[in-house]
Amino acid sequence: MVVIAGAGIAHPTVQTQDELWSGFFSHHYSGVQRALAARLFRNSGVERRHGVINPAIEDVTGWSTAKRMQRYLTEALPLGKSAVADALDGAGLAASEIGLFAVCSCTGYVTPGLDILLARDLGMSPDTQRLFIGHMGCYAALPGLGVVTDFVRSRGRPAVLLCLELTSLHAQPPSADADQIVAHSLFSDAAAAVVVLPDGPGYEVMAVDSLTDAATADHMTWDVTDLGFRMGLSPRVPDVLDLHVEPLVDGLLARQGLHRDDVDGWAVHPGGPRILDVVGKRLGLGEEAMAPSRRVLAEHGNCSSPTVLMIVDSLRAAAPRNVLAMAFGPGLTLYATLLRAVP
């Protein structure tokens, strides 16, 4: 039995969607672009977001990738340290006891990496193994959880998974591309960490399954450019999820001897309101089941890889027995993870 025994969430400064629009993006776009942007911001499902960059104060759209990476390191270290420290406290564990420290991030690259620098600053042992998982995007938390779970199961030692994204560093120059406007209307910064133990109370990791439709690989991209990382996001993404989410979820549950009715906690990555609509409709989930995912989108935006862990953490107060977590990203890839409460 391998369980999630502690969690920690950290956010930078809060920014309301209205403030971001009136303070920067309403001037960032003009003409037809501005009208489209206004509609997308208004219908994003986001009320508040978080950012290490306030674009009304610092316009990073002209920054080089090198300058953005320098800022990434400055901002990521305290945010990651806070999330991991809270997760360790929640699990009642010292940093020196960790056997594996895995870090997921697609919004910044530095060497020495966050895994090395945070392990040092937190007081992890010199023999703590480390793993950095990059460029998997919004679904990275679930394969990351699969990796640390396998480590804990095979080695019998605790592990920590940290997902940290600073999307505000990658604001792009004005563009007629709708996918850029969508990204500007949705994405947010956050760090989320979980401690995984070989036993004890928490949420047992029962299964981690995935499905990749390589024929739609061009539907979601994250390109490194001279001006930061640029997102490509096809409007056809919800249609692909509509095709694959039902067999993925039903197959995972069937292998555990369960059905959808046995799941009383749903954590669906809020890639946007339309994605939540499609997944909810395809799986026959009511508004009550989808409410935690919509609430995280409204209160925090789409934080990329930390988001699904944030939703799982928000579910704990309701004490669901079986939690089904889903996330989606480049590939086009779908991941699903089943968690079961252990008293």
Report the percent of the chain where pLDDT is more than 90. 97
CATH superfamily of 202-342: Thiolase/Chalcone synthase (3.40.47.10)
Q: How far is CA 264 from CA 68, 254, 298, 336, in A?
A: 41, 16, 22, 15
Q: What are phi and psi of 39, to 5 degrees?
A: -65, -45
- The pLDDT of 320-340, averaged and rounded, is 97
Residues 214-238: tens digit of each pLDDT? 999 999 999 999 999 999 988 999 9
The phi-psi region of residue 17 (left if phi > 0; otherwise alpha if psi is between -120 and 50; otherwise beta) is alpha
- Using DSSP's 3-state secondary structure scheme, residue 274 falls into helix
**Cβ atoms of 51 and 72 closer than 8 Å:** no
Task: Name the burial class of residue 5, with classes exposed (0-12), middle (13-18) and buried (19+) by CB atoms within 10 angstroms of its CB.
Answer: buried
pLDDT(60) > 90: yes
The predicted structure's pLDDT at residue 330: 94
Beta bridge partners of 165: 190
**For residue 15, what pLDDT band results from cuts at 50, 70 and 90?**
very high
Per-residue DSSP letters for 15-57? EEHHHHIIIIIHHHS-HHHHHHHHHHHHTSS-SEEE-S--TTT
The predicted structure's pLDDT at residue 296: 98
Choose among 223, 171, 172, 164: nearest CA to 189: 164
Domain with CATH 3.40.47.10 in the chain: 3-197, 202-342
Report d(CA 14, CA 330) in Å as an integer: 27
The phi-psi region of residue 213 (left if phi > 0; otherwise alpha if psi is between -120 and 50; otherwise beta) is beta
Q: 31 vs 65, which has greater pLDDT?
A: 65
Chain mean pLDDT for the chain: 97
pLDDT(337) > 90: yes
pLDDT(37) > 90: yes
**For residue 292, what pLDDT band results from cuts at 50, 70 and 90?**
very high
**For residue 311, what pLDDT band results from cuts at 50, 70 and 90?**
very high
The predicted structure's pLDDT at residue 93: 98
Q: Which residues contact 172 (CB under 8 A, 6 or more apart)?
A: 61, 180, 183, 184, 227, 228, 230
pLDDT(177) > 90: no
Amino acid at 128: T
pLDDT(145) > 90: yes
Residues 88-133: tens digit of each pLDDT? 999 999 999 999 999 999 999 999 999 999 999 999 999 999 999 9
**Cβ atoms of 255 and 208 closer than 8 Å:** no
Q: Which two tokens stand for residue 318?
A: 């309701």
pLDDT(176) > 90: no
Choose among 50, 122, 121: nearest CA to 310: 50
Query: Which CATH fold would you assign to the domain 3-197?
Result: Peroxisomal Thiolase; Chain A, domain 1 (3.40.47)
Q: Which residues contact 336 (CB under 8 A, 6 or more apart)?
A: 142, 208, 209, 210, 248, 249, 252, 324, 325, 326
pLDDT(66) > 90: yes
